[in-house]
């Protein structure tokens, strides 16, 4: 459900849906798991006490960290599609690669370090990542 707003906004502003709208959907879709799972690593005990079946509670922290890496790598690949399809140019490619590279780095560090500091860093970076990536899209679309 969290990935639907870009589709709604695109349709509302353009009167229809295009490939770029679906790229935005895919970006948010693949961004959501590492974002929320990093937070859920921080809040695992609270989720367990409340009986909320978040991934670290039901599958463990190691599996959660592996899934964060997997989805971050998939996100990196998905974010390159607007450039590969010719929708956005180099003004998008460079920041998307840099931001994605940092996000992958954070997720791998979280996997290896297995501590709360890297969970927090990964979570906080995920917030900046999405905002900066969408800013890069807006700038590149107007270059």
Q: Which of 133, 120, 127 is nearest to 38 (CA)?
A: 120
The three-state secondary structure class of 43 is coil
Q: Which of 81, 74, 71 is nearest to 20 (CA)?
A: 81
pLDDT digits (tens, 9 = 90+) for 87-121: 788 999 999 999 999 999 999 999 999 899 999 99
pLDDT digits (tens, 9 = 90+) for 45-95: 999 999 999 999 999 999 999 999 999 999 999 999 988 878 788 999 999
Residues of 93-106 as b/e, b for ≥16 C-beta within 10 angstroms? bebbeebbeebbeb
**Are the C-beta atoms of 4 and 25 separated by less than 8 Å?**
yes
**CB within 8 Å of 45: residues ≥ 6 apart:** none
pLDDT digits (tens, 9 = 90+) for 32-50: 999 999 999 999 999 999 9
Determine the pLDDT at residue 108: 98
Tell me the whole-structure pTM to 2 decimals.
Answer: 0.90
């Amino acid at each position: 459900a969290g990935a639907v707003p870009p589709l709604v906004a695109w349709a509302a502003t353009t009167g229809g849906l295009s490939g770029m709208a679906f790229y935005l959907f895919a970006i948010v879709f693949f961004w959501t798991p590492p974002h929320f799972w990093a937070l859920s690593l921080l809040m695992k005990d609270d989720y367990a006490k409340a009986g909320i079946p978040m991934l670290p509670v039901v599958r463990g922290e190691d599996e959660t960290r592996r899934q964060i890496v997997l989805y971050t790598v998939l996100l990196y690949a998905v974010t390159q599609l607007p450039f590969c399809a010719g929708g956005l140019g180099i003004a998008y490619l460079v920041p998307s690669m840099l931001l994605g590279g940092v996000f992958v780095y954070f997720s791998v560090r979280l996997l290896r370090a297995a501590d709360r500091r890297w969970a927090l860093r990964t979570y906080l970076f995920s917030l900046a990542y999405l905002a900066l990536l969408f800013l890069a899209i807006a700038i590149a679309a107007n270059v």
